[in-house]
Amino acid sequence: MADNDRSISLATLHRMPGYLAYLKAREAAGDEYISSVELARAMQENPAVVKKDLSMAVVSEGKPKVGYFIPDLVRDIESFMGYDNEKDAVIVGVGKLGQALLGYEGFGKYGLNIVAGFDPDPALAGTEVHGKKIFGIEKLEDIVRRLGVKMAILTLPAKFAQTMADRLVSAGIRAIWNFSLAGLSLPSTVAVKNENMAASLAVLSARLKEILSKEDK
């Protein structure tokens, strides 16, 4: 059973979307029940790890020798991750990456709704990208406060990131998804998730090199 008083590790949070995607696929296939051991096998995880993860998120009780009712498991994980409570967000920086994120329809599955974009380029002010209105950066604080938005996606160059993050926080933003390469210095009351594509590529390249070197032997 879920216990909100226990701390939740980042590793657990990273695994949950994988569980959810697999469970939804099983549900779509008509399956009704799954055990934690079966889920662990599908995810190639230690069964003890999966069982502990589920204990953090799941309210529904599993049945002995049968497992969890998959629709209940999906509902509990979605609730645990906040996917059942749509969150509005703004995106700051409407370059190629920002435009790609504005056009990604999959965010809705995870409770994220990008309501507007902001960019320092005057040529973009007043335009629309994938149906989302783009505003000049000077309107940032006013619109964020007016809409009551609490989450922002930052896709500006690193040299502008800290200044813009400070402005977002002063406007009431409490969570920033940071795609810039800058390390942000913000109050502990603000949640920050940094995405470093270069670092991810480096890890992937290193793994590929390791795999290929084994194949050559």
Give the Cα separation of 187 and 39 in Å (integer).
38
Answer yes or no: are the C-beta atoms of 116 and 102 closer than 8 Å: no
Using alpha carbons only, what angle is made at residue 135 by residues 101 and 155, rounded to the nearest 5 degrees? 35
Q: Are 80 and 16 in contact (CB under 8 A)?
A: yes
**What are the binding residues for NAD(+)?**
93-98
Annotated binding-site positions = 93-98
Q: Which residues pair with 134 in a beta bridge?
A: 117
Q: Look at the block and give the residue holding tokens 């940032």.
A: 140
Residue 30 burial (CB count, 10 A): 7
